[in-house]
């Protein structure tokens, strides 16, 4: 896939920066954005970072983001935000959760939005669902777009559950249905219980585990080496 990704708003301390609560939106959405971009590229996707850091106003920030997105021919635009408005300073034991907006109720952006909601909800966040809205970015980008509100910065339960790397993993899996290798070189592919199988498994029936699919051989070679470095007996298979 070819994908635009950006963090919403200006950086902290500038005009038109994001929401502030237990955490700061403009700090965390950039952390998540960086991790999402890294993982998508690891999986062989073409990714453009369209984040704006120098908007002179909210409208200028949005216009610069859209202009950057529309400079590329892509399959999907992804806008990363954090929500606010829960006003849960004490913690009530319930997260306010994840929601993702799209401009239309069908199409690739909507499908990805629903999967992202499900993947983030699997981390323990309430699933507020995929919703339709006419936010500026959604209605002005050429490619189908989705705006992800990862969780609420002013909900104590959300913030205690939130982890930047896990959030990025969930978003990437929701978009691609692929799992990436994390920045510490561990394979984020879920827990596997130890058994008596060898690396070749049972000769009568094999269950193959795919980490990624790549159009560029060098990217496949790089992933193969990462897997071998952490002890996986991996091979490359052409199609």
Q: Are 78 and 3 in contact (CB under 8 A)?
A: yes
Listed by start position, the domains of the chain span: 2-176
> pLDDT tens for residues 69-91?
999 999 999 999 999 999 999 99
Q: Is the pTM of this model over 0.95?
A: no
178 Cα distance to chain centroid:
11
> pLDDT tens for residues 135-174?
999 999 999 999 999 999 999 999 999 999 999 999 999 9
What pLDDT score was predicted for residue 50?
A: 98
What does the alpha-carbon distance between residue 162 and residue 22 come to, in Å, rounded to a whole number? 11
Question: Which ranges constitute the DSSP H helices of the chain?
Answer: 25-42, 58-70, 108-121, 136-140, 156-161, 164-176, 217-229
Residues counted in the chain: 239
pLDDT exceeds cutoff 70 at 206: no
pLDDT exceeds cutoff 60 at 205: no
What does the alpha-carbon distance between residue 161 and residue 53 come to, in Å, rounded to a whole number? 28
For 160-210, give the DSSP string: HH--HHHHHHHHHHHHHS--PBPTTS-B-S------S--TT--TT------
Fold of 2-176: Aminopeptidase (3.40.630)
> pLDDT tens for residues 1-56?
999 999 999 999 999 999 999 999 999 999 999 999 999 999 999 999 999 999 99
Q: How does residue 228 score in pLDDT terms, banded at 50, 70 and 90?
A: low
């Amino acid at each position: 896939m070819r994908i635009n990704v950006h963090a919403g708003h200006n950086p902290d301390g500038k005009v038109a920066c994001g929401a502030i609560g237990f955490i700061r939106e403009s700090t965390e959405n950039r952390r998540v954005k960086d991790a999402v971009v890294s993982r998508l590229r690891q999986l062989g996707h073409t990714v453009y970072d369209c984040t704006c850091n120098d908007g002179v106003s909210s409208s200028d920030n949005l216009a610069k983001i859209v202009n950057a997105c529309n400079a590329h021919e892509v399959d999907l635009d992804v806008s990363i935000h954090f929500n606010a408005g829960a006003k849960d300073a004490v913690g009530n034991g319930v997260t306010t959760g994840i929601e993702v907006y799209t401009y239309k109720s069908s199409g690739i952006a909507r499908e990805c939005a629903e999967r992202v909601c499900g993947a983030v909800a699997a981390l323990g966040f309430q699933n507020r669902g995929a919703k339709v809205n006419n936010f500026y970015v959604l209605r002005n980008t050429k490619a189908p777009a989705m705006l992800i509100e990862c969780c609420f910065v002013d909900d104590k339960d959300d913030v205690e559950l939130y982890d930047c790397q896990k959030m990025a993993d969930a978003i990437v899996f929701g978009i691609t249905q692929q799992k990436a290798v994390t920045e510490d070189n561990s394979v984020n592919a879920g827990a596997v219980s130890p058994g008596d199988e060898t690396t070749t498994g049972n000769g009568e029936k094999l269950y193959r585990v795919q980490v990624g699919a790549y159009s560029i051989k060098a990217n496949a070679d790089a992933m193969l080496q990462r897997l071998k470095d952490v002890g996986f007996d991996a091979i490359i298979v052409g199609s």
